[in-house]
Amino acid sequence: MSKEPATPIYLPLEGVESEHCALIVDRGLQQVSAVTSHKVELNNQRAIITPARQEALADAVKAIRDLGYGVTTIKKTIPVLQMSCAACAVSVESILQAQPGVVTAHVNFAASTVAVEYLPNQLKVEDLKKAVQSIGYDLFIDATSPQDSTLEELQQQKFQSLKRKTILAIALSIPVVLIGMFFMDLPYANEIMWVLSTPVVLWLGRDFFLNAWKQARHRSANMDTLVALSTSVAYGFSVFNTLFPEYWHERGLHGHVYFEAASVVIAFILLGKYLEEKAKGNTSSAIKKLIGLQPRVVTMVQTDGSTQTIGVEQVQKGQTLLAKPGEKIAVDGMVTSGESYVDESMLSGEPVPVLKTENQEVFAGSINQKGSFMYRAEKVGSETLLAQIIRMVQEAQGSKAPVQKLVDKIAAIFVPVVILTSLLTFGAWYWLGGEHGFTQGLMAMVTVLVIACPCALGLATPTAIMVGVGKGAEQGILIKDAESLEVARHLTTVVLDKTGTITEGKPAVTDSFWLEESALLKDVLYNLELHSEHPLADAVVHFLDRSKSIPVTNFDSITGMGAKGVLLGTTYFIGNEQLLQKHGISTTQALKDKSKAWSQEAKTVVWFANSVEALAVLAIADQIKPGSREAIRQLQQQGIRVYMLTGDQEVTARAVAEAAGITQFKAGVLPEQKAAFIQQLQQDGQKVAMVGDGINDSTALAKADVSIAMGKGSDIAMDVAKITIISSDLTKIPHAIRLSKQTVAAIRQNLFWAFIYNIIGIPIAAGILYPVNGFLLDPMLAGAAMALSSVSVVSNSLRIKWMK
């Protein structure tokens, strides 16, 4: 019988605008081994591929994007319902990845979400929902965003239901344990325990049985399967012994009951789930804080000056909004009138409020202080900086660290292996355990099923990633994915761009020297520079910041030298020394000495003069950011080599490097040379981070092991970078590296304890110590240990929050 041919997949292309582009894409697809055939259609702006394996689509999309072209896809983070363990997460992920048109699917068990990227021309989100429902789970696709109250209510109802079930199960289990351990001779003891344990097992624990049945129908197994098997065996065996005690008496044995084991196991597992859910809620506190920053309503100013309160989702670009004292800014915008200090700490991590005046940007989620101002809406909805931050944090928290792939493989086979182990345990006891071999084997089997828990394995990595990424976001460090968080701890070299990264990225007056300083002369210089279009003129205007207006006549811009103009009947000049020499203007030695000293520091010197003599000199430079030197010192203390790359001339580069404390730098470097330099460092065995802010840094950022963009730089740099520093403060980089080390350490600790717990716990549960010292683990203790394992892993991840 011939094999059915694979279904072709159509990839909508972006940016393929010529035959040459189509040829490049075609050659790129030739390199993808998982694609058996392909065709690029320029007219239809699409590529048609025939996949040989499941990962073919993801490989093809990556190949096209690596070439600099795009593929139209939709990325969504969707809540997943009814997952109970890591095996569930693996099942959901596998079924989604098997759907034609799904590029990637990553399930985050800790957050109960799936981050899925798919082709909109191949399938809809409803198709994903049906696929997940087919294996007993569900997707909450009615929520358009995590702010949706219906989802929050659903999660809160689930949590409260779990809390009630836990309290009831414990309340009913306590008397069962007391009777089972201390009052077995009580009249009708077995019947009383049966009555008390039945609601615990069959009512409060019914979800375990329902979920296990769903899994069995789809030939799968998860933690619910283990719980349902163990408790049903203990409960069923106890019911049989209560109803038919003579069966064992006729064989010279006593039929023990294990109602307390069945009910306590359910109670402990419910308690563990409750504590786990509570702790998992804390791991996502950062995203909840970010979501809570956006107000639900905003005051809109109408054209007639009247105000109206509207929902934030109704705001449109260009509308004028009013920020009252103490209110949160609703959308990204530009101040049109008024001024106030605004607290941007939750976005940038900077604690000091920033003064916002006319024509300055404000961002959604920042908090207005005591003043009030009006601002024009520039970016609304999903376009705001806050929305982008929330989306990046969600995607990062849902991404997988490389180590998680190994854990997923183990989780996929964990439950079947445990069930097989429990059956082998029962068989060994039955054949080798003597007269009590059956009952002891039954209890050992139950104990193995109870103690084995894939939850701790499933929670080990994602909880640490969620807390680490969330903590970074709170400090103004946006981490795009888990892999960069894991790789950052291995960094040996950090390469820094100069302009906008180490320095402010704009010229500013650093020094001034006047022969005779006067308010009138400063007013003259200020008004003269106001008329100039030279980039350095803005620096002088900002530095002087005068308010008096003086008319300027006969203004003339002199190319390559400066400018001149007539103010108050006198001609004044502003520019370089050549301008003064050309017009025969005298200069004093004091001014010359200052000019020479500043020039040696790689500063640009500007002369101010009247038609007779020079009056003042000003030094202009791109100043080093306040935290740059300290950040570089911290990196060097961590044993990391720091390089500076710049397109500037040698003298300027040397001056900045010396001021910043950098010993290794390269000047006159072109964008492609930056990438080549990083590649050379990597070939020498270095793990390299590139830090930049401009379009010219994007190639080097893409080449680096870890790419870091400064938040006030270009959008392209931030798109390419895996980590973004919102405040552009370099001291955040050593913080990010320390956070990476703390997070990876927590992941390793979690995985160690999760593996050790199962490696030690399962053999003890099976009775390996019985021949040595007669010890048999009670199923009740196994249930408590199982619950504790998950809670301890989540609690260990939460420690990252409190680390410095």
* Amino acid letter, 619: A
Q: What is the DSSP letter of 8?
A: P
- What is the distance between the alpha carbons of residues 27 and 757, in angstroms, rounded to a whole number? 50
Nearest alpha-carbon partner for 215 in 418, 78, 416:
416
DSSP state string for 723-739: EEETT--TTHHHHHHHH
Tokens read off for 2: 């011939």
Radius of gyration of the chain (CA): 34
Please identify which of the residues 497, 648, 697, 705 carries the catalytic annotation. Answer: 497
Q: At what angle do helices 223-243 and 259-283 cross, to 10 degrees?
A: 160
Q: What is the 3-state secondary structure (H, E, C) of 119-180?
A: CCCCCCHHHHHHHHHCCCCEECCCCCCCCCHHHHHHHHHHHHHHHHHHHHHHHHHHHHHHHH
Q: Tell me the three state secondary structure of residue 610.
A: strand
Q: What is the 3-state secondary structure (H, E, C) of 347-373?
A: HHCCCCCEEECCCCEECCCCEECCCEE
- What is the distance between the alpha carbons of residues 690 and 706, in angstroms, rounded to a whole number? 7
Q: Tell me the three state secondary structure of residue 470.
A: helix
- What is the distance between the alpha carbons of residues 407 and 392, in angstroms, rounded to a whole number? 24
Tokens read off for 345: 């700490």
* Parallel/antiparallel/unpaired status of strands 297-301 and 604-610: unpaired
Contact 367/327 with Cβ under 8 angstroms? yes
Tokens read off for 105: 């699917």
Nearest alpha-carbon partner for 674 in 710, 638, 699, 706:
699
Tokens read off for 747: 């992941």
Q: Which residues, in sequence order, are bridge partners of residue 664? A: 643
Contact 430/764 with Cβ under 8 angstroms? no
For 300, 306, 326, 379, 526, the CA distances from 312, given in Å and listed in that order, are 10, 18, 17, 12, 42
- Phi, psi (degrees; rounded to nearest 5) at 491: -60, 135
For 174, 268, 543, 566, the CA distances from 527, given in Å and listed in that order, are 86, 78, 13, 11
* Amino acid letter, 766: A
Tokens read off for 221: 């197994």
- Beta-carbon contacts of 139 under 8 Å, excluding residues fewer than 6 positions away, are 78, 79, 80, 81, 114, 125, 128, 129, 132, 133
* Amino acid letter, 267: A
- What's the gap between Cα 427 and its chain centre? 48
Contact 151/141 with Cβ under 8 angstroms? no
Q: Is 497 a catalytic residue?
A: yes
Helix or strand run (H / E) with residue 673:
helix 671-683
Nearest alpha-carbon partner for 350 in 472, 479, 469, 476:
476
Residues known to be catalytic = 497
